[in-house]
Amino acid sequence: MLKQLSFSLLFSLFFMLIGMGNSHGQSSKENQLVSSYFSEKNVKKKYSRLMALGEFYKQNNIQKADSIRHIIVEKSINFEDSIRFNALFFNAEIALLLGDQHDYFKSILACQPFLNKLNSDEVQFKLFRHLGYYHSNMQEFETADFYLKLAVKLGKKEHNNQKLSEAYSHLSLNFMSSNLKDSAIFYSKSREKS
């Protein structure tokens, strides 16, 4: 109970500080998102508005995104798997943008169980690509290759050139890291064709 009270107090304090910045030119979009968060009474909708604020901050103010990413993860615990996954993935993205590779990898690995829980091509593509990147960095090149080729397969299934390009790019980097230059060049050229 005390932990929940202190968590709520910190959360409220954070948004009060944001509110103090209003007089210093805070964007109208940010004002709207903060206001809609505070006015929402439905718990699930309130969380959705918090996530929208986090996404706004991810694009416009990475420090503010960093300051609420753990709150987003903590509040997602009581919701269904898709919401929990989005919170963990948001946390991973912010860690990556901040250059905190340790926290990024930890968050991506925490997302891995959702491969079996969520039957979404979008979720699977995101995870396959990031798990490939993780395993490549751990010098587990065969495992990275496995995940990245699954990402390529999904990109082809959807006829999505952007996804194919991302997957081929990571495959090429994986082959470069494993010193297989010919394969790296092949996938680099495949990326250009997609």
Mean pLDDT, rounded, of the chain: 82
Same domain, 123 and 173: yes
- Give residue-wise pLDDT tens across range 110-169: 999 998 898 889 999 999 999 999 998 898 989 998 999 999 999 899 988 888 888 777
Helix axes 141-158, 161-177, angle to 10 degrees: 170
Confidence class for position 11, pLDDT limits 50, 70, 90: low
The structural domain count of the chain equals 2
Q: What pLDDT, on a 0 to 100 scale, did the predictor assign at position 94?
A: 97
- Domain boundary (64, 84, 116) is at 116
User: Range of 124's domain?
Assistant: 119-194
Same domain, 102 and 187: no
- Domain boundary (66, 98, 116) is at 116
Same domain, 86 and 177: no
Same domain, 36 and 108: yes
CATH of the domain at 163: 1.25.40.10
Q: What pLDDT, on a 0 to 100 scale, did the predictor assign at position 24?
A: 46
Same domain, 111 and 131: no
Confidence class for position 25, pLDDT limits 50, 70, 90: very low
How far, in Å, are 12, 146, 150, 186 from residue 9 at the CA level? 5, 45, 44, 55
Same domain, 146 and 88: no
Tokens of 32: 């709207």
Q: What pLDDT, on a 0 to 100 scale, did the predictor assign at position 169?
A: 78
